[in-house]
Chains A and B, each alone.
Chain A
Amino acid sequence: MDPEAPDREWKKGSAELLILSLLEDQARHGYDICKLIDARSHGALRFHVTSLYPLLYRLEERGWIQGRWVEKAGQRRRRYYSLTRDGQKVLAAQRRSWREFVAAIGRVTGIDYA
């Protein structure tokens, strides 16, 4: 079995939550999201171009986030994503279930996050 595989699966499961969380307080473009995940996870979590964007489109497709082209003086044209009303609800629900899931895992494995 590919030793990398579990890592990938973890990421997939949590990626949606990560992105929605980052967009909660402000609209961000793809590169910004990438950087933030990298920085806040101290390099433990890293998204590649080819996985981040399909995910963004999927979320947009579902109506959880919305992309908008923005042109700022002296900068490239970028697509900024923001959380929609639906997205906010989904984020709240996912946070709750993630918390419950982690607590359950903790209880089973004895890992304590406190």
Chain B
Amino acid sequence: MPDWKEEVLRRLAPLKLAPARELELAEELAAHLGDRYDELRSAGIAENEAREEVLRELHNADIVTAESFQRAGEPRRTATEPGAPKTANPLLDLMRDLRYGARAVRRSPAITAFIVATVAVGIGANTTVFTIINTFLLNPLPVRNASELVAVASAETKTGAPSADLLPVSFLNLRDLQRRNAVFSGVAGYTSPTTMTLADGAGSRRLFAEVVTANYFDTLGLSPAAGRFFSPGASGPPEIVVSYAAWKVKFGGAADLLRRTLRINNVNFAVIGIAPKGFMGVNAIFGPDVWIPAGTARELLDSELRASLNSRGAALFHGVGRLRPGVTEAQADGNLKAVGAALESEYPDVNAGRTLEVRPIREALFGGSQAPMLFGSIGLMVVVAVVLLMACCNVANLLLARAASRRQEVAVRLAMGANRGRLIRQLLTESILLGLLSGLVGLAAGVLGNRLVWAFRPAEVAANLPDPKLDFRVFAFTVAVALITGLVFGLAPALSASRADVVEALKEESRSAGRSRRAVSFANTLIVGQVAVSLVALVTAALFVQSLRRAYGIDPGFDAGHLAVFMVNPGELGYGQARTEQFYREVRARVAALPGVSSDTWSQNMPLWGRVGIIQIEGREQRSKADAITTITNTVDTDYFRTMRIAMLEGRDFTADDRDGALPVAIVNDTLAKRYWPNQEAIGKRLKFPGDARFRQVVGVVRTANYSTIGEPPQPCVYVPLRQNYSSGMTLYVRSAREASSIMTAVQHEIRAVDPQISVTDVRTGRTIIDQGLWGPKIGATLLGVFGLLALGLASIGLYGVLAYSVIRRRREIGVRMAMGAERRSVLALVLRQGMTLVGVGLAIGIVVSLLLGRVLSSHLYGVSAGDPASLASALGVLLAVAMLACWAPAWAASRVDPITALRES
């Protein structure tokens, strides 16, 4: 029988009806012609003649116009024939495509909901990460003409190569620069935020303060949110400026704050101003609560900072300069070098080998953390991009299935002369519409995600960290991602649909219209890829979990159980050395008397926060910098090794007699002893620190512990006695007989009993120290675990979709098989085999990739090899189980196919 539909469509083509209308019309007219043809044939008229007759009727037309077939309000198709002039109005095209797309989206709410939910998760994750980046990295200084600002830093004249970090400038050099430079309209200095103690009623609170030059705010070009800023040259009572965030968070937004006096480190300050909203200092990551002018700050600073105001050698200030109009950075750098050279010749003892330089202000925003921040953000971005890509794969798969079922529609329109490019554009419009819809939901998910992330901000420093910046940039980013996403998941299905073979598709019954071989293999590739990615993520997560488990079993060289530490800094309160030492003695005596305390001591370092220093060993004097011996150094009080349970291997512990004036002594660990005095007696050997006038004699050797990270390779370490090395801030270590938590309150009470103004800035148990030491791997395990599960979920959804679709497509085949006597069990196996083959290929690729990746990550793993069979097996097990489940449902459905129904349907 002739294909009437094709005949009709050919004749309708010039009318350029709306596509849907056209198809409906074609079917109706074809039915009519078919009926007529059948009638003629049954009347005995020959095939050819009947056909001619029917076609004549079609020709024998009254005047046919498009209007006669067009419904009111229905848009007409404009010229789309090949060779026809381009559409007059592309905007009209777009509107029509949008309308068409919106209809398609509305027509299948379940599929739409699935797509939007899947993609929104991916876009939400991307939005969250981008907001973090936007907040920290893309956040310019909220100051007037930020482009005029540059960082001013010290530089080594010898090395020539710029150092990675910005080197600080000494206060006195900075002051000279302020007077001598010819390129800046202003040069200001600021220190890093340092902790100070704010008297608060009966107790005290910790504050972060930046010591700044009086012209700091003027140089930056800021105006106060309230009150005023420092006026240079002013003399009077000490003044202080409070940050906007601290005003809101730490002082509850008190309206009378400007009239208050704050007692900080035992000095009274008049609050004269509140900094503008959003300004948290030059550093973009961590800001101070208050700014204190250097001129009035001397009394309240700890000894180190106070000394730095008078010593050209102590560089604690970061410089920021505002270029005069018309001055370039290069000119400024030249001028600075000249000033630097002059300072070098005037003060050769401290400035030798040093000069000044101009660096981009961007480097000051992130301090030394620019590279890791950038690296971390890129890493995060890649991870969430992969999640989004996987979501796209699933959606593409789904749309491919749908594209297959739409092949006929597409083929008809191609046959009618629809232009392929135009068709692709229309299908893409539909997927981009879906993408945008997902973007909208994703934006909401991103806002929620950010709340979650920012909820992890420790409450104590919430005012010192930036608030999430959800601005137009985040919005633009999300819209762009949504658009690209729509394009990505729509492109393959659109191309595949538009590639439809016109003749084939039109001949096919709609039911048997399946995916083309190419579409099927593309979908399968996507599934294999997803399975591989899931496995890699899961294996890596399992490796981290294994490594964490091992890490907790690692002996850090000290006993973290029943241990608690309390950090105090009496120097902040302006205590002198004698008073501080008195304080140390008193606290130890009081705490030791507490019930349940078995020993206590002072140590300069927190556990796993080892300080690195340089030593000289007698007889091995360094000839160049390369010879310098770096070790962990720690200042400790008596009983330190007993409290930490670090074994003495040789010699003796520090005693109360190791004090100033006595023979300078030190204790080393066995790593140092073995490395520098191999096969020799370490006791009696001598070493010294760069500032020491005399050599210290080694009096003991202790076992090596972990000083920086858990499971680290052995590091050399030198301990010196507190009584020979005064320090204004120390950490109290207490070993308790029972759980460390049982004595926490009592110990803090005793510290406050000695001086209520002393704030205990950090309290930790040994267990939390170990926890925090393993923070990196923990975050890694959590992130990878979440990511792995997300990937696994997406992969199983994709797997399920592909199989379920294939079962529907093969219903008839399965029906035939069963009619021929195939058992349900073998049908089940057939589908399972199809799915699990894909999974198998994915797993094989995943195993190879995870072995390679594991090797890269091996430096972050404790006692676990990249090919750890347990990790691999557990990840494989989880993945196989979930994949089996995803395959089972479609396979079961296939085995339930009723052969009679399936065959009748065909």
Contact = CB atoms under 8 A, between A and B. Distances in A.
The majority secondary structure among interface residues of chain A is: helix
Given A8-B62, A30-B28, A49 B57 contact: yes
Interface stretch (A19-27, A71-79, A88-96, A104-112): A71-79
B31 A29 contact: yes
Interface string B213-243: 0000000000000000000000000000000
A50 B71 contact: no
B69 A49 contact: no
Interface in A20-46: 29-31, 34
A61 B62 contact: no
Interface string B21-41: 000010111011111100000
B246 to A, nearest CB: 71
A57 B27 CA distance: 14
B62 A76 contact: no
A29 B28 CA distance: 9
A57 B57 CA distance: 19
B679 interface: no
Nearest to B35: A31
B61 A51 contact: yes
B58 interface: yes
Contacts of B57: 48-49
A101 interface: no
B72 A54 contact: no
B64 interface: yes
Contacts of B25: 53
A103 B64 CA distance: 34
B27 A61 contact: no
A49 B31 contact: no
A54 B68 contact: yes
Given A53-B69, A57-B69, A57-B71, A34 B64 contact: no
Contacts of A29: 31-32
A49 B62 contact: no
B60 interface: yes
B32 A31 contact: yes
A79 B21 CA distance: 14
Contact of B34 (A50, A53, A58, A76): A76
A95 B88 CA distance: 48
A77 B5 CA distance: 13
Contacts of A79: 28, 31
A61 B61 CA distance: 22
A29 B29 CA distance: 11
Given A48-B60, A49-B58, A61 B29 contact: no
Contacts of A77: 27, 31
A91 B69 CA distance: 23
A31 B38 CA distance: 12
A78 B31 contact: yes
Interface string B292-317: 00000000000000000000000000
A66 B72 CA distance: 15
Nearest to A76: B31
B474 to A, nearest CB: 49
A58 B28 CA distance: 15
Contacts of B72: 61
Contact of A48 (B31, B61, B68): B61
A50 B62 contact: yes
B32 A49 contact: yes
Contacts of B62: 8, 48, 50-51
A53 B62 CA distance: 12
Contacts of B31: 29-31, 76-79
Nearest to A30: B32
A5 to B, nearest CB: 12
B71 A54 contact: no
B61 A53 contact: no
Given A53-B25, A54-B68, A34 B32 contact: yes
Interface in B57-95: 57-58, 60-62, 64, 68-69, 71-72
A66 B1 CA distance: 30
Interface in B171-205: none
A50 B69 CA distance: 9
Contact of A61 (B28, B33, B71): B71
B28 A53 contact: yes
A55 B58 CA distance: 16
A8 B29 CA distance: 22
Contact of A50 (B27, B28, B35, B64): B64
Q: Which of A8, A50, A54, A58 has the most CB of B within 10 A?
A: A50
B27 A49 contact: no
Contacts of A58: 68
A54 B17 CA distance: 13
A49 B35 CA distance: 12
Interface string B143-169: 000000000000000000000000000
A53 B29 contact: yes
A37 B57 CA distance: 16
B60 to A, nearest CB: 6
A57 to B, nearest CB: 6
A54 B64 contact: yes
Contacts of A49: 29, 32-33, 57-58, 61
Contacts of B58: 49-50
Contacts of B33: 49
Contacts of B68: 54, 57-58
Contacts of A78: 28, 31
Contact of B61 (A8, A30, A34, A50): A50
A41 to B, nearest CB: 17
Nearest to B60: A48
Contacts of B60: 48, 50
Contacts of B28: 30, 53, 78-79
A34 B32 CA distance: 9
A17 B36 CA distance: 24
Contacts of A34: 32
Interface in B552-569: none
B56 to A, nearest CB: 10
Contacts of B61: 48-51
A30 B35 CA distance: 10
A30 B34 CA distance: 12
A109 B31 CA distance: 43
Nearest to B36: A31
A53 B12 CA distance: 13
Nearest to A67: B28
Contacts of A8: 62
A73 B28 CA distance: 17
A10 B61 CA distance: 17
A71 B31 CA distance: 12
A29 B32 CA distance: 9
A60 to B, nearest CB: 8
A57 B61 CA distance: 17
Nearest to B8: A49
A26 B33 CA distance: 22
13 contacts: A8-B62, A30-B31, A31-B31, A48-B57, A50-B61, A50-B62, A53-B28, A53-B29, A53-B69, A54-B69, A57-B69, A58-B68, A79-B31
Given A50-B64, A53-B32, A57-B68, 9 more contacts: A48-B57, A49-B32, A51-B61, A54-B64, A76-B31, A76-B34, A78-B28, A78-B31, A79-B28
Interface of B: 25, 27-29, 31-36, 57-58, 60-62, 64, 68-69, 71-72
